[in-house]
Amino acid sequence: MTIVEDKIQDSSHKEVEIGLTPAAWTMAKELSEATEEYKGLPLRLYIEGKGCDGFYYGVNFDKAETDDLLFEVDGLECIVDPRTYLFCKGSTIDWVDDERGQGFLVENPKEKNFRGKFYKKSTWRTRLEAMAAQGSTP
């Protein structure tokens, strides 16, 4: 998988380690230009939930919040909230169009760290935030 950029600086010049494949970048640009409701909005990566096999990711166009990390990949603005970034650092966003369907797909090399027993959203968030606070990030 080819990553357009794997180390991007956000507005505070901190490196943001989330990549986009050329296919994801191209489709995001096309969607943002062709869809009125997406125009002017950055592409957001977020965690939607968790199951036995790891997290469920979401990628869509959304307005930035004050605590979001904002980064740019070749003219495409992207955002991720700090909590999601903690668990998605090193991930790559791809675009798929195959037997699985059509859409953005997040490849997270740390995914195996999040597999296991299913917990309610509030429980896994609390556990993962506690790990982060202790410096033992996944």
Residue pLDDT, tens place only, 39-71? 999 999 998 877 777 778 899 999 999 999 988
pLDDT at 117 > cutoff 90: no
CB 3 within 8 A of CB 21: yes
Interval 13-39: pLDDT, tens = 456 688 899 999 999 999 999 999 999
- Which tokens in the block code for residue 95? 């675009």
CB 63 within 8 A of CB 134: no
Quickly list H helices, the chain: 22-34, 82-88, 121-133
Three-class SS of residue 73? Answer: strand
> Given the DSSP bridges, would you call strands 76-80 and 43-51 parallel, antiparallel or unpaired?
parallel
pTM listed for this prediction? 0.72
**CATH class of the domain whose range is 8-133:** mainly beta
Rounded average pLDDT over 63-87: 90
pLDDT at 4 > cutoff 60: no
pLDDT over 70 for what percent of the chain? Answer: 70
- Please, how many CA atoms are within 13 Å of residue 127, restricted to the half-sphere of its CB? 12
What's the mean per-residue pLDDT of the chain?
Answer: 79
How is the chain split into domains, by residue range?
8-133
